[in-house]
Structure 1
Amino acid sequence: MKVAFVGKGGSGKTTLSALFARHLAASARTVVAIDADINQHLAVALGMSEDQAFLLPALGEHLPEIKEYLRGTNPLISSAAAMVKTTPAGRGSRLLRPAGDDPIHQRFARPAGAVTLLATGAFTEDDLGVACYHSKVGAVELYLNHLVDQSDEYVVVDMTAGADSFASGLFTRFDLTFIVAEPTRKGVSVYRQYRDYAAEHAVPLAVVGNKITDPEDIDFLRRHVGDDLLVCLEHSPYVRAQEQGRHAPLTELEDTNRAALDRLHAAVDARPQDWQHFQAQAVAFHLKNAAAWANESTGEDLAQQIDPGFAHGPGTLQALSSS
């Protein structure tokens, strides 16, 4: 299952991304966490030191190599240079498994405890004024477009803050999106934006209340988000200690907050995967991007990259493995 955490800056989405990834991994599941935020803090939240986080290889700095591998022998893609962030998989494309034995995971993935971590890379000084962070995040979109996740395999993505998540089709790549909201007016503002965009594209979402201190906080969130409020996490001394660099086993997290993580896990597992819809969304956003800018940028008609005979999902992956 593919899961995203979104929210305004400071809402706690990175902390919750890390807690949830660790919670899943504690059950001996395959868990890949991806830092797709412009501020790269997920590695440290997962327990890495600042020095270890600094040394993480950046997906966003190696797009040509990633594209070259993923296109495989797909005859509809003329070259890696003709691939863009929305290019969908087709026959001949290389498909990925979470934390699989492939060059992308071997080169870019690093262990963070029991979690496998990938990072887009930070927005550097060289990028200022000349680059868009969404070009880096494009590596994550390509990764997810070519990923086949199965039972007990999870990908948890810490998205960039606010409505910036909608600058590409990346927001449609998830089985469930958790909107992290504090019990304030600003805290629920991103929820309203995300709810409206998500409704247009059949993106399933749920709200996670965070930094709750009393029942009035829950009442406030319930008034503003209604039935989309799935669960709330209380203000956490455990999280505060973690943010201060004092990491402890997840078993020491407060009982109420561990129960909240159980609720999130149950909600994710209850979502059915619809691979036909997943591929249709990828195609729709690819056509949209092709018409808006990508055809002109590459000098090709990128609609020709779409393979109408390709069926995404475990069946295709199994057939490729057998062959």
Structure 2
Amino acid sequence: MKIAFVGKGGSGKTTLSAMFARYLAAKGASGESPATVIAIDADINQHLGVALGMSEADAAAVPALGAHLAAAKEFLRGDNPRIASAANMVKTTPAGRGSRLLRPRGDDPFHTDWSIDAAANLRLLASGPFAEDDLGVACYHSKTGAVELYLNHLVDAEDEYVVVDMTAGADCFASGLFTRFDLTFLVAEPTVRGVSVWRQYRDYADGYDVALAVVGNKVTGPEDVEFLREHVGDDLLACFGTSGWVRAAEQGRPAGLDAMEPAHLDVLRVLRNAVDARGKNWTRFQDQAVEFHLRNARAWANKATGVDLASQVDPDFAHGFLEALAITPV
């Protein structure tokens, strides 16, 4: 399952992304055995590694996917006859017959060369920060484009999770990235600004069959829960309160999950159950990839590449079916 955490800056989405990724890596779908987890830092601030318990130095050593975009395109293109050159691939290019597809922790450069182990059963990828050459001339979409291509070509199966810490606000709506997830958790503080981000995200996603659930954070009592429920209604899934476990981690004293407050472990269990209850719809996943690819082609990408990128769409490609794709699960 592919999961996104979104929210306004400072809402705690990075912290919750890290907690949830660690919980899944330890507990898995059954709550008894570990799962395969890929965590992706797609936030401009790049703090997920430290939130996962890594040192600043180790987190900074995670290769930046954005710096390997050309190589990533060349790898993913594979033998797809509809893509004559990796230079003609853009962030929305969908997979097709002949494309190289990915498996979580598979034998490919994304999982062997361009990522790092953050914990047992947990591999960390990062879009990467701005480089000096980017300043003043590039937007962050040049980094998150590598994440979108990765997700477009990833085949995840049961008890495999991809947890993405997204950039703050509604920036992901600049492409089809917001449709790449089986479930999106919007982290909202019990404030007017907190719920306004939920409203904006909900309105932008309306009509695209995006599964959205609100996770309240920094909730101090029943009044905060009531405030959130009044404003977001049934979208409110669960709430986190203040946590000594989180505070200790933020002060450089991370502890194991067993030391977390039982009430907050229960919340993580609620989130996992909500994810596991989602059904896979690979046809919709591919159709949405194609839709936004064609939109980007018409808006800017055809002109930028000098190619009619609609020709990259393979109408006979069926995404996600392991037997048809001849992918051996790891």
TM-score, scaled relative to structure 1: 0.98
Cα distance, 1:198 vs. partner?
A: 1.6
Task: Please tell me whether residue 17 in structure 1 is matched to residue 17 in structure 2.
Answer: yes
1:167-206 CA-to-partner distances (Å, cap 9, x unmatched) read: 1111100000000000000111110011111222111110
2:196 pairs with one of 189, 197, 209: 189
Question: Cα RMSD over matched residues?
Answer: 1.1
Cα distance, 1:295 vs. partner?
A: 0.2
Which amino acid is the alignment partner of residue 249 of structure 1? G
1:83-142 CA-to-partner distances (Å, cap 9, x unmatched) read: 000000000000000111112211111000121000010123331110111111000000
Verify the 8 A CA contact 1:150 1:314 in the aligned structure 2. Answer: no
The 5-angstrom pairing of residues 254-269 of structure 1 reads 254-269=261-276
Unaligned runs of 5+ in 2: 28-33
1:81 corresponding residue in structure 2: 87
Q: Helix, strand or coil: the match of 1:311?
A: coil
1:281-320 CA-to-partner distances (Å, cap 9, x unmatched) read: 0000000000000000000000000000000003356524
User: In the aligned structure 2, how far is the partner of 1:262 from the partner of 1:91?
Assistant: 38
1:59 pairs with one of 65, 68, 82: 65
Cα distance, 1:212 vs. partner?
A: 0.7
1:37 pairs with one of 39, 43, 56: 43
User: In the aligned structure 2, how far is the partner of 1:315 from the partner of 1:294?
Assistant: 31
Cα distance, 1:256 vs. partner?
A: 0.7
Verify the 8 A CA contact 1:211 1:233 in the aligned structure 2. Answer: yes
2:303 corresponding residue in structure 1: 296
User: In the aligned structure 1, how far is the partner of 2:320 from the partner of 2:231?
Assistant: 37
Verify the 8 A CA contact 1:95 1:317 in the aligned structure 2. Answer: no
2:277 pairs with one of 265, 270, 273: 270
Q: Helix, strand or coil: the match of 1:200?
A: coil
The 5-angstrom pairing of residues 131-170 of structure 1 reads 131-170=138-177
Q: Helix, strand or coil: the match of 2:186?
A: strand
Residue identity (%): 69
Moved segments of 4+, more than 6 Å: none
1:95 pairs with one of 101, 105, 114: 101
Task: Please tell me whether residue 179 in structure 1 is matched to residue 194 in structure 2.
Answer: no
User: In the aligned structure 2, how far is the partner of 1:92 from the partner of 1:212?
Assistant: 49
Q: Helix, strand or coil: the match of 2:103?
A: coil
1:60-87 CA-to-partner distances (Å, cap 9, x unmatched) read: 0110000000000000001000000000
2:30 corresponding residue in structure 1: none
Change in Cα spacing, 1:318 to 1:77, as seen in structure 2 (3 Å) is closer
User: In the aligned structure 1, how far is the partner of 2:141 from the partner of 2:218?
Assistant: 29
Cα distance, 1:210 vs. partner?
A: 0.4
Q: Which has the higher helix share?
A: 1
TM-score, scaled relative to structure 2: 0.96
1:202-254 CA-to-partner distances (Å, cap 9, x unmatched) read: 11110000011110000000011000000001111111111111100011111
1:70 corresponding residue in structure 2: 76
